[in-house]
Chain A
């Protein structure tokens, strides 16, 4: 259904424009907000206030240093925003090992970001110390050029917190854009989140500062000596920090405050990005001109961000916008074809089916991993196993001789390509299967066999406890990755159900009816895939589970709700639909409200 190349490129350009304009607005507002916070924090709180000279406050607060800081802050925020925009535009790839996660944190973009944050940290310390009346110059000129350790400590703290926050976000935090549950105006959103962020920043500042204290305690002397040696200056004795330096409350509070401000500044940029990018957008259902971006185009967009905006708008149309619903159900002129509806339903069903099949693959991976390794415990054993004649088929392996396989989850068996999947995942079995090939091939496959040996050795090494932790594949990584990026699918599921239910009143041409069986089938398949996914929260009431588990609950609930909506609307007519017996049985529970 894609149009000519010029039309496609103009639509892609328009989509990019939407994204870029939002990013730019977010960046500009980040800069404005950062400046406001800097001035607000700087003016009344941190300054040396002389009650008798109030005009002096303003003079101090808006000195040339402040303006320099604000301009630098703006430049840094802009650079940060540009670097962060990729996180919002593209979906992060699925990383299956911890080592991969660590490696991803050291990408050039992240390194640049880390550098910027380090500079940013030092700048914040310098600016706020200046407001407090301290000069944060590392060198003092009182008795010759000396290294001021106290200032070195503060600057190093700022640099460390900048570095720490960058890598902590990259490695430990889930990087996914979550759309808000209610679409408020931007100002209340920012106001609410800003209040939460201030407290959160102070909490988050404690740990990096504690790490910094430990590091400085262990390595501070080296830093001081190397720096003074490198620069050829002596250390100022008056500013030397004692061993129990962290016991000085004023210094600790100041460091914590600077750390919190550094963290807060980073979070503000993130929040503003999220607020601007997740704003709902009204798309046209059908366009009069070829270069106009319609809802269908957005749903099929290659940019995940635009897709999500499309799904959000589709849910809005389905739940609240009967005028656009009628347009969606209308026929094309000329021709009289339901192109609008067809493209929407095709795209949403394709996405749902793709998700279900990906989830089934992830479930197979997880079950295979949890049912015990099919690999031998050492390369030597693997060679022996290779020479065993009895192991000629994968099904022999899963006989009663293997206790671990007796507990195999039967969901694996449901997979139609059972043999392929097992052979593909298990080099040993794959090799065993190859043994059945004619003997003459063995000579040719010497290189391949040695490669297999090498793979065995690598796998054997990888299974050693410490190495496995770092390099071993996390069996649920794929499923978790899929669930993390499934918010738009729950909107799609509900939108289809609401549109189908609304079609009883508003679909005057009956364009929805033909797709009802496909919709129901897709929803039931998705529900069964989600139910088979072995990801559960153990202590549900005590604390919320991880985001992936909650996303799974949200998607499952959305699918069930959608099936109830369909059964409520079409209950009396379901017998007229061409559905399989299994589907009818499943829907029977929904009609009787027996499905929990």
Chain B
């Protein structure tokens, strides 16, 4: 059964925003008084983050045009200034766009020139896949926070074990907010750290945060005992290789031993031993630069999507890849199920979510029955059809997906779209087979667009979706299932609370939906 964009719970009335979900019911509040604390105390100690444009200093090298008032000019002058400031391609694009002042001949010739250049670049890129992708402007194609340079928040990532969140801000700084130290926000900034695209906390470490940027990867040591708010660059290890930039994706394996980095202009991805500061490039012919990486939770597989239709799933035992192709575009976002047997991914062109199922490893075979049929040979199947639909109040969801995240227990899948101001949350069930059903839609304030999403890893009362909105506001959207039955788990949630899937997944399923009890239990066993 394929899920669609229909069947979500009703949207909040005008002027209200979605605040949280308690036992399957979405709670709404007026924007001015929107806080989940009225409904649940699970996020009571969380840092309040709001990074407005005024609070964020513009990054060096950032396009400064938006700070000036727009002035009407003649077309020729505009084309000249565009050519002077941004280059020939942008000038041709301006000339080819229909406007009152431009003549048909000018538009036609500009379009012809653009098409010729496009064909030439295609030919060159076929021979040299990474030729045309060098340069800072390609950051946007690879990054999940693409085309969002002007938004204050580019990326958010939760620490895997404690309540600590790192936020990549558009001024190329990274701010670290911790629930344990509400007033103390270390800001990581350096001249080397330009065009930050991705962040990754090291598992089984309190302090190490990898930052992917234009120059390479900076692994910062954010000492929790330190009182320094602006750590110097000596607290960071810089990992870079010639030709391996700009970094578009970084990922630690779940044991925290290896870091993998990808750059859209480099067809090699690098596996790093950060402590030894050594790296191994992994490369296969075809596909172009590597755009996206995702390591399976059991560390057995690594997804490496390229900037073309090709993507690979590497077997990390012997580092041999399986090669796959999408129909069009490139893989833009992907996430693994907790059991590492299902890979969900979306592409840049299609409005669907694909699922790719792999044979479980021996760790799971001893706890469940499984057919010997090689599922991966059957190909990827569509599990969510995201054709745009109107969901009320003139709002639409659907279309190409910008970012997709799956919570650590495999119960919720959240998506944001290129052309929608809503966050779609689906409920997922892994046993006996993958089942996806619409859950709820999260709506921000008027004019707000979601720019980045992340699930908190150590939230044991359900799932906590964190949404960065285009205004710089960061919202926590807890989905709590057991608070009424067991309030002790939601009160006093702090750093010392440990992630214990054996408790949370079982009890949350019991309270949330009794019919799903058995499947929850099975999914835990399989995990």
Q: Is the CB of A183 within 8 A of B300?
A: no
B277 CB-CB contact with A under 8 Å: yes
CB-contacts of A514-573 with B (<8 A): 539-541, 544, 550-551, 553-554, 556-558, 560-561, 564-565, 568, 571-572
- Which of B5-13, B142-150, B255-263, B440-448 participates in binding chain A? B255-263
A188 CB-CB contact with B under 8 Å: yes
Docked Cα-Cα span, A184 to B256, in Å, equals 19
Q: Is the CB of A596 within 8 A of B221?
A: yes
Contact of B319 among A184, A322, A561, A564 (CB under 8 A): A184
Docked Cα-Cα span, A319 to B496, in Å, equals 25
Chain B 205-237 per-residue mask, 1 if CB under 8 angstroms from chain A, else 0 = 111000000000000011111100000011011
B514 CB-CB contact with A under 8 Å: no
Range of interface residues on A (Cβ < 8 Å):
35 or more
B363 to chain A: closest CB distance in Å? 4
Which of A541, A560, A572: most chain B CB closer than 10 A? A541
Docked Cα-Cα span, A592 to B207, in Å, equals 12
Q: Is the CB of A593 within 8 A of B161?
A: yes
Q: Is the CB of A596 within 8 A of B280?
A: no
Q: How many residues of B contact A (CB 8 A)?
A: 49
Residues of A within 8 Å of B282, CB to CB, are: 184
A185 CB-CB contact with B under 8 Å: yes
Contact of B161 among A541, A568, A572 (CB under 8 A): A568
Q: Is the CB of A184 within 8 A of B318?
A: yes
Q: Is the CB of A593 within 8 A of B495?
A: yes
A594 CB-CB contact with B under 8 Å: yes
A591 CB-CB contact with B under 8 Å: yes
Evaluate whether A188 and B221 lie within 8 angstroms (CB atoms) in the complex, with A550-B276, A593-B206, A595-B206 already known: no
Docked Cα-Cα span, A241 to B281, in Å, equals 46
B498 CB-CB contact with A under 8 Å: yes
Docked Cα-Cα span, A596 to B205, in Å, equals 7
Residues of A within 8 Å of B224, CB to CB, are: 593-596
Residues of B within 8 Å of A247, CB to CB, are: none
B131 CB-CB contact with A under 8 Å: no
Docked Cα-Cα span, A185 to B317, in Å, equals 10
Query: Which secondary structure dominates where chain B touches chain A?
Result: loop
Residues of A within 8 Å of B499, CB to CB, are: 568
Q: Is the CB of B275 within 8 A of A560?
A: no
Q: Is the CB of B225 within 8 A of A319?
A: no
Evaluate whether A596 and B277 lie within 8 angstroms (CB atoms) in the complex, with A185-B319, A320-B317, A591-B496 already known: no
Q: Is the CB of A564 within 8 A of B205?
A: yes
A291 to chain B: closest CB distance in Å? 28
Residues of B within 8 Å of A558, CB to CB, are: 275
A592 to chain B: closest CB distance in Å? 6
Contact of B234 among A540, A557, A560 (CB under 8 A): A540
Q: Is the CB of A183 within 8 A of B280?
A: no
Evaluate whether A565 and B300 lie within 8 angstroms (CB atoms) in the complex, with A183-B318, A551-B276, A596-B224 already known: no
Contact of A554 among B164, B273, B320, B362 (CB under 8 A): B273
Contact of B363 among A182, A322, A544 (CB under 8 A): A322
Which of B204, B223, B317: most chain A CB closer than 10 A? B204
A327 to chain B: closest CB distance in Å? 12
A533 to chain B: closest CB distance in Å? 15
Q: Is the CB of A322 within 8 A of B362?
A: yes
A192 CB-CB contact with B under 8 Å: yes
Residues of B within 8 Å of A498, CB to CB, are: 255
Residues of A within 8 Å of B205, CB to CB, are: 557, 560-561, 564
A323 CB-CB contact with B under 8 Å: yes
Q: Nearest CB to that of A572 among chain B residues?
A: B498
Docked Cα-Cα span, A539 to B238, in Å, equals 11
Q: Is the CB of A183 within 8 A of B276?
A: no
Q: Is the CB of B255 within 8 A of A319?
A: yes
Docked Cα-Cα span, A320 to B298, in Å, equals 8
A180 CB-CB contact with B under 8 Å: yes
Q: Nearest CB to that of B316 among chain A residues?
A: A182
Q: Is the CB of B206 within 8 A of A594?
A: yes
Which of B164, B276, B362: most chain A CB closer than 10 A? B276
Contact of B496 among A540, A565, A592 (CB under 8 A): A592
B278 CB-CB contact with A under 8 Å: yes
Q: Nearest CB to that of B159 among chain A residues?
A: A593
Residues of A within 8 Å of B363, CB to CB, are: 322
Q: Nearest CB to that of A542 among chain B residues?
A: B238
Docked Cα-Cα span, A593 to B178, in Å, equals 11
B162 CB-CB contact with A under 8 Å: yes
A557 to chain B: closest CB distance in Å? 5
Docked Cα-Cα span, A172 to B250, in Å, equals 36
B521 to chain A: closest CB distance in Å? 15
- 27 contacting pairs across A/B (C-beta < 8 A): A181-B257, A181-B280, A182-B280, A182-B319, A183-B319, A184-B282, A184-B318, A185-B320, A319-B255, A321-B362, A322-B363, A498-B255, A540-B234, A540-B236, A541-B233, A550-B275, A557-B274, A560-B205, A561-B255, A561-B256, A568-B161, A572-B498, A591-B496, A594-B206, A595-B206, A596-B206, A596-B223
- Across the A-B interface, give the 4 residue pairs with the lowest CB-CB distance, nearest first: A596-B223, A554-B275, A544-B277, A596-B207
Supply 17 further A-B pairs (C-beta < 8 A) apart from A540-B234, A550-B277, A594-B224: A182-B258, A182-B316, A183-B319, A184-B319, A494-B257, A539-B234, A540-B237, A553-B275, A553-B276, A561-B257, A568-B204, A568-B499, A592-B180, A593-B159, A593-B162, A593-B206, A596-B223
